[in-house]
Structure 1
Amino acid sequence: MRSMRVHELSENISVLRLDDVTLPPPGPGEVRLRLKACAVNFPDILMVQGKYQFKPELPFAPGMEGAGIVAEVGPGVTALKPGDEVVAGLRIGGFAEEVNIAAENCRPKPPGLSFVKAAAYPAAYLTAYVALIIRGQLKAGETLLVHGSTGGVGMAAVDIGKLWGATVIATSASDEKLKVVKARGADHVINVTGGFRERVKELTGGKGADVIYDPVGGDIFDESVRCIAWNGRLLIIGFTSGRIPSVSVNMPLIKGFSVVGVRAGEYGRRDPEAGRQNIETIDRLAAEGKIDPYVCATFPLERAVDAMRMLQNRQAIGKVVVTMD
C-alpha cells in the first residue's frame, strides 16, 4: 500500500515522499483500516518540521484524523468487523491507504457524512465544543467573538455558538473568506486588518463580548482584552500568529474576566468519562445533521504536500482533506 512518509525532519515540508509499504497483520486489539480520507491539521506540518511536542520515530506518515472502512480485525476485537465505516483518531499515519490502529480509537462514522466530511469534523468540533460549552460555559443570548473564524476550528466555533443560541461575531483578515463564514450563519463579520475593538463595542452596545475564542494569539489577544465584557471568558485555543501573548493581571482584575486555557484532547485524557461524553455529543450532532464541516479543497494522496501547503500559506477556508481513492 502507498504512504506519504517523512524520512528526515525539515522546515521544507516537500521532504515527504510516496513509499510502498507492507503492513503487518493487525495485532491484538487492532484493526486494519482502509482509509478513504484524512484531514490536514497544523500539527501535521509542525511534526514534519520537528516543532511539535509529539515527535514520532522516523519514518512516519503524518495525518491525525481520518475516516475509512475496516478491512481486517486483529485478535480480541469484537466491537468492529470488516466492512464497518468508521472515524479514526490516529495521531499519525493518516496519509496512507491503510493503517493498523487500536480498535478503541475508532468509532462509527455518522451516516449522513461523506468520508471526506467525516475526516474533517472530529478535532475541530471537539475543540470548539470543549472550549465554548465545557470551559467557556457559553449561554444562549450571550455574544461570542470568534477569531480565526475562517479556519477549521474557527468555523466549528461559529457553528457551535449558533447552535447554543449565541450572537456570533466572526473575524478574519480576509473579506473574501468572511463572506463564506457569513453565509454559514455568523451574525456579524469583522475584518481585523484595521482593528476590531471599537466595532465589537459598537455591536454590543459598549458592553463587549461575553466569550472570546482565540486560536490566533499575538496582537489579536492583546486587543481582545480591550473589548471583553464584565465576567467574560477569554478562551486560549492556540497561537497561529506565532507570538504567545501575555496579559497584565490588573486587566482581568479590573474587568472581572477569566483567561481560560483549552486543550480538548488533554481534557479527555484527564477525565476519560467526560471526554467520552464530549465525543458522543459531537458525534450525535453530526449524525443529526446539526453540524456540517466546511471542506474547501481535497487532494489525492500523492499531492498531500500541496494540501499541507494550502494550510501553511493561509489559503484554506475551513478544512483541507487528503483522499485515498
Structure 2
Amino acid sequence: MRAARCTTYGPPGDLTVAHLDDPEPGPGEVLVRVHAAAVNFPDVLIVANRYQVPAPLPFTPGSEFAGTVAALGPGVTGPPVGTPVAGAVLTGAFAEQVVVPAASLRGIPEGLDMVHAAAFHVTYATAYHSLVTVAGGTEGEWAVVLGAAGGVGTAAVDIGTRLGLRVIAAASSEERLTVARKLGAAGGVDYVREDLKARIRELSGEGAHLAIDPVGGRYAEAALRGLRRGGRFVTVGYADGEIPRIPLNLVLLKDLVVRGFEIRTVRQYAPDAVAEADRTLARLVREGMRPLVSRVHPLDDVAAALTDVAERRTTGKVVLDLERG
C-alpha cells in the first residue's frame, strides 16, 4: 500500500509517500480501506514532535479517516466487510489502509460522502461537546468562537447557529469572517484590527455567555474579558502555538468558569454525552448540515496539504482523497 511517512521530526514539507507492506488486523482489530482522510492541526504538531502524545519514528501521520471495512481480525464479529465506517487514530490515517481497534469505528451519518465523512467527526464532535457538554450552551445565549474560519471554528459556528445560539465569530481577517457569516454567525470580530473585548460587549450587550477557544495565544484573555459575569470559557487547543496564561483574578472577580475539552478521552468519562452528541449531530446532518471542506488533495500532495494547514492558508477542513491518483 501507499502511505505518507514521517522519518524525521520537523516541518510537514519533509513528509514523503512510500510503498509499505499491507497491514493485517490482529485480535480485536479491523482493517479499513481508507477512501479519504482529513488533515487536522494536531497532525502538524505530531509531525513536529510538539504534540502532548509523541509518535515514535518512523510513522504514518493522519488521525481522521473514512473508508470501508476490508477485513476483520480474530475475535471480531463486525462490522461486516464492505461496511462504510469512519474513525480516528493518533497516527496512521494518511495511507491506503489502516488497522484500528474495532471499538473505535463508527458509522457514517446518512447523507455524508467519504470526503465529508472524513472531515466530520473530530471537529464536529469537538465543537458540539465544547459548546454543549462542557459549556452548557443553550438557545439564545451569546457564544464567542475564536478561530472561527478553521476546522473546529467553522464546526462550532455551524452547530451553534443550528442549535439557536447567537454566535460571535472571531477571526484574523474580513475574508475569514465572511466564511463564518455564511455559516450563520450573528456577528464578527476581526481580532487583528479590532478590540476583541470591546466588540464582544458591543455585539452582545452585557458580554457573551460563553467562549470556545481552539486557538490559544494572546486573544484568549481578551475573549475571557468579553464574557459576562458567570460566563464559561472552554479551551480546546492551541493552534496559535502559544498556551495562554490567564490571570486568575479575572476568574475570581467575574465568577467565571474555565474548562477544557479533549476529544481523545471523552468516550471514557462521558459515554452518555457522546451518545447524545451522536444523535444530535446525525439529526443535523439529515437536516442538511455538512462540514466545510475547502480543499481536496491526492495523497501525493500530503506535504503541501499539511503545510497549508500549518500556515493557516485554509478555511474549514482540508481532506486527502486516497481514491485520486
TM tier, smaller:
over 0.9
Partner of 1:54: 53
Shift of 1:18: 1.2
Q: Which amino acid aligns with 2:158?
A: D
Partner of 1:200: 200
Partner of 1:106: 105
Shift of 1:29: 1.9
Q: Which amino acid aligns with 1:172?
A: A
Q: Once superposed, which parts of structure 1, at least 4 consecutive aligned residues long, lie more than 3 Å away?
A: none
Structure 2 gap segments, 5+ residues each: none
Q: Which amino acid aligns with 2:279?
A: T
Considering only aligned residues, what root-mean-square deviation do their CA atoms show, in Å? 1.6
Shift of 1:247: 2.5
CA distance in 2 between counterparts of 1:311 and 1:234 reads: 25
Shift of 1:19: 1.1
Q: Which amino acid aligns with 2:173?
A: S
Partner of 2:313: 315
Shift of 1:322: 0.7
Q: Which amino acid aligns with 1:244?
A: I
Does the CA contact (< 8 Å) of 1:310 and 1:316 recur in 2?
yes
Q: 2:295 aligns with which of 287, 294, 297?
A: 297
CA distance in 2 between counterparts of 1:287 and 1:202 reads: 33
Shift of 1:283: 4.9
Does the CA contact (< 8 Å) of 1:169 and 1:188 recur in 2?
yes
Shift of 1:278: 4.9
CA distance change for structure 1 residues 124 and 278 in 2, over 3 Å: closer, same or farther?
farther
Shift of 1:251: 1.6
The percent identity for this pair of structures is: 36
Does the CA contact (< 8 Å) of 1:218 and 1:242 recur in 2?
yes
Does the CA contact (< 8 Å) of 1:146 and 1:157 recur in 2?
yes
Partner of 2:249: 250
Shift of 1:265: 2.4
Counterpart check, 1:93 vs 2:92:
yes
CA distance in 1 between counterparts of 2:44 and 2:240 reads: 15
Partner of 1:125: 124
CA distance in 1 between counterparts of 2:274 and 2:169 reads: 29
Q: Which amino acid aligns with 1:169?
A: I
Does the CA contact (< 8 Å) of 1:215 and 1:236 recur in 2?
yes
How many residues align? The count is 322
Q: 1:107-161: per-residue Cα shift (whole Å, max 9, x none)?
A: 1112300101100011111111111111101111110111100000011111121
CA distance change for structure 1 residues 193 and 101 in 2, over 3 Å: closer, same or farther?
same
Partner of 1:160: 159
Greater Cα offset, 295-304 or 240-249: 240-249
Partner of 1:143: 142
CA distance in 2 between counterparts of 1:301 and 1:152 reads: 20
Does the CA contact (< 8 Å) of 1:129 and 1:160 recur in 2?
yes
CA distance change for structure 1 residues 25 and 208 in 2, over 3 Å: closer, same or farther?
same
Shift of 1:169: 0.7
CA distance in 2 between counterparts of 1:56 and 1:244 reads: 21
CA distance in 2 between counterparts of 1:227 and 1:196 reads: 7
TM-score (norm 2): 0.94
Does the CA contact (< 8 Å) of 2:110 and 2:282 recur in 1?
no
CA distance change for structure 1 residues 138 and 85 in 2, over 3 Å: closer, same or farther?
same
Counterpart check, 1:23 vs 2:22:
yes
Structure 1 gap segments, 5+ residues each: none
Partner of 1:189: 188
Shift of 1:274: 3.1
CA distance in 2 between counterparts of 1:298 and 1:152 reads: 14
CA distance change for structure 1 residues 24 and 146 in 2, over 3 Å: closer, same or farther?
closer
CA distance in 1 between counterparts of 2:144 and 2:277 reads: 24
CA distance change for structure 1 residues 24 and 124 in 2, over 3 Å: closer, same or farther?
closer
CA distance in 2 between counterparts of 1:146 and 1:24 reads: 40
User: What are the within-5 Å matches in structure 2 for residues 268-287 of structure 1?
Assistant: 268-271=267-270, 273-274=271-272, 276-278=274-276, 280-281=278-279, 283-285=281-283, 287=285
TM-score (norm 1): 0.94
Shift of 1:14: 2.4
